[in-house]
Structure 1
Amino acid sequence: METVFTIEALTPEAPNAHAIIRSYMFELASRYYGRPATPDEVEQALRDEPYDDLTGSTGVLLIAMQDGEPIACAGARFDGAVAELTKVFTLPEYRGQGVGKRLLRRVEDVCRARGVDVVRLDTRSDLVEAHALYESLGFARVEAFNSDAYAEVWYSKSL
């Protein structure tokens, strides 16, 4: 059964945006360290992976909301006809319920409306749930297009 939720474009400084991004960074850092991340490690991850540009002409940040609470997020940075997908995350208890797919389809709609032809992303190899999601939506693995220290797998999709 699919989860009932709404999708809102929020500014990065909005409390609900910050809350879900913090949850995302906690999970990423915890997986990286192989244990629950400390508050300092989460703060460092937030500094290492800024998202304040996911608004206005440079990007978008979409948040899936259920009963006023954020349950998932996805952002895109715009660079001409190419967009970089970033900050894709669904709280564990909502995974497998269609939230991520619907959210990413909405990101693609926003990208098309902005004149984007290609959406691409990089991710880590241990984020297997993300790989399955991207591949189910037609993203294909491609050669590396950046040298991000945490990137191990690259994807691209023509819109």
Structure 2
Amino acid sequence: MPLTQVERVRRFNRTVTQRIGALDDAYLARGRPLGQCRVLWEIGDEGSEVRALRARLDLDSGYLSRLLSALRADGLVEVSAAADGRVRTARLTPAGAAERDELDRRSDDLATDILARLDESQRGRLVAAMGEVERLLVASMVRVAPVDPGAPEARACLDAYVAELATRFDGGFDPARSIPAEGALMLVATLHAEPVGCGALRFHGSWAAVKRMWVAPSVRGLGLGRRLLAELEATAAAREVRTLRLETNKSLTEAIALYRSAGYREVPAFNDEPYAHHWFEKDL
């Protein structure tokens, strides 16, 4: 990683934390640090399971427990457990809901103050840049790792894959008619512990087939499809695979564009996949 890029990211982080008041021990002058305020906001009006809070905020369980304990001591949050004790839910008390409303008001004031010191052109540039930075930061939080194809997160991705193809293919999609991917190596992408993408490799000696590429609609546009494909290529290369092959349906125009831009060339059909219209190949 170029050192200059690392230095720019660190400088950006310092500027942001100072400008939004993250360094203050009483964020927005409310007597508590930013971490407690964010948890209070994240619990929301409907409450939230503690494990879901931990996943959304990417917090260590011990640290989250300390944040919740501090909010409970201030009378802002209640935490209850289900009968089996395994699922705990955090909810705002009336005082907590009032505090959350006040934090929302002061957060609006802070955002207004940031924008008010800029002219109209600068405000537009800042908001547009923030949108781009947010998308890229979300992309950087996605984790890609191999999982057992039978794991819940893998099954969730494959079920979503089948459901989407059923709506996009002419005549629907029946996985029983498609060439199976059993025995494949499976990569799953997760964001805040939720599965948001997958891809698989089925090995055939010196070549391997890319199967079951899917990205959740909620994270499309973040470059995750390209990242999954690159991870699959790296995994295949590490196993001394020399060629990757894949097939796809004519309706998946985004996938076709991705494969072509990633260096895959269209080749004659190499299998009898009934849902395929295009076959691609790439030498690694």
Normalised-by-shorter TM-score class? 0.7 to 0.9
Structure 1 Cα separation of the partners of residues 243 and 223 of structure 2: 23
The question of 1:51 aligning with 2:181 is answered yes
Residue deviations 1:52-106 (CA, integer Å, cap 9, x gap): 311xxxxx11001101111010101000110000000101221121111111111
Deviates more, 1:2-11 or 1:14-23: 2-11
> Which amino acid is 1:134 matched to?
Y
The question of 1:150 aligning with 2:280 is answered no
1:151, CA displacement in angstroms?
1.1
8 Å contact 1:13–1:52 — kept in the other structure?
no
| Higher Cα radius of gyration | 2
Report the RMSD for the aligned CA atoms in angstroms: 1.6
Larger RCO (alpha carbons 8 Å, 6+ apart): 1
Aligned length: 146
Structure 2 Cα separation of the partners of residues 75 and 32 of structure 1: 21
Q: How does 1:6-155 map to 2 (within 5 A)?
A: 6-32=143-169, 45-49=174-178, 50-54=180-184, 60-155=185-280
More helix by share: 2
Structure 2 Cα separation of the partners of residues 114 and 15 of structure 1: 26
8 Å contact 2:181–2:202 — kept in the other structure?
no
Structure 1 Cα separation of the partners of residues 281 and 232 of structure 2: 14
> Which amino acid is 1:128 matched to?
T
Structure 1 Cα separation of the partners of residues 247 and 267 of structure 2: 10
1:136, CA displacement in angstroms?
1.6
Give the structure-1-normalised TM-score.
0.86
Give the structure-2-normalised TM-score.
0.49
Q: Name structure 1 gaps, 5 residues minimum.
A: 55-59
> How much identity, in percent, do the aligned residues show?
36
Residue deviations 1:118-148 (CA, integer Å, cap 9, x gap): 0010111110011011112111111111121
Structure 2 Cα separation of the partners of residues 117 and 150 of structure 1: 26
More strand by share: 1
Q: Secondary structure at the match of 1:70?
A: strand
Structure 1 Cα separation of the partners of residues 268 and 170 of structure 2: 27
Structure 2 Cα separation of the partners of residues 9 and 46 of structure 1: 22
